[in-house]
Amino acid sequence: MNQFACEVRSGLAKPQKELPSKYLYDELGSALFDAITALPEYGLTRADRRILNRHAVDLPRDFACVAEFGSGSGSKTRAILEAIAPKTYFPIDVSPAALDRCTRELCGMAHIQPIEDSFLEGLDRVREAQESGALLLLFLGSTLGNFDSRCRNDFLQQVRLRMRSGDAMLIGLDLVKPLETMLDAYDDPTGVTAAFNLNLLGRINRELGGDFDIRAFAHHALYNETDRRIEMHLRSRINQTVTVTEADFHCRFRADETIWTESSHKFYADEIPEIAHATGFVSEALWVDEEWPFAESLWRAV
What is the number of the residue whose Cβ is closest to ligand SAM? Answer: 141
Report yes or no: 65 and 136 within 8 Å, Cβ to Cβ.
yes
Q: Which stretch binds ligand SAM (CB under 6 A): 7-15, 64-72, 127-135, 250-258?
A: 64-72
Q: Which of 12, 18, 19, 45 binds ligand SAM (CB under 6 A)?
A: 45
Q: Which stretch binds ligand SAM (CB under 6 A): 4-12, 91-99, 106-114, 185-193?
A: 91-99
- Between the CA of residue 93 and those of 87, 183, 271, what are the distances in Å? 20, 26, 27
Whole-angstrom Cα distance, residue 128 to residue 83?
Answer: 25
Q: Can you give the three-state secondary structure of 15-59, one letter per residue? A: CCEECCHHHHCCHHHHHHHHHHCCCCCCCHHHHHHHHHHHHHHHC
Of 34, 36, 80, 50, residue with least CA distance to 291: 50
The answer to whether 98 contacts ligand SAM (rule: CB under 6 A) is yes
Across 22-160, the runs of DSSP E, i.e. the strands, are: 63-69, 88-93, 111-112, 115-116, 134-139
Q: Which stretch binds ligand SAM (CB under 6 A): 89-97, 150-158, 207-215, 237-245?
A: 89-97
CB of 25 to ligand SAM, least distance (A): 3
The answer to whether 217 contacts ligand SAM (rule: CB under 6 A) is no
For ligand SAM, give the closer residue by CB, 143 or 297: 143
For ligand SAM, give the closer residue by CB, 147 or 212: 147
Whole-angstrom Cα distance, residue 95 to residue 32?
Answer: 13
Report yes or no: 9 and 247 within 8 Å, Cβ to Cβ.
yes
The answer to whether 140 contacts ligand SAM (rule: CB under 6 A) is yes
The answer to whether 196 contacts ligand SAM (rule: CB under 6 A) is no
Binding site for ligand SAM (CB under 6 A): 22, 25, 30, 33, 37, 45, 70-72, 92-95, 98, 118-119, 140-141, 143
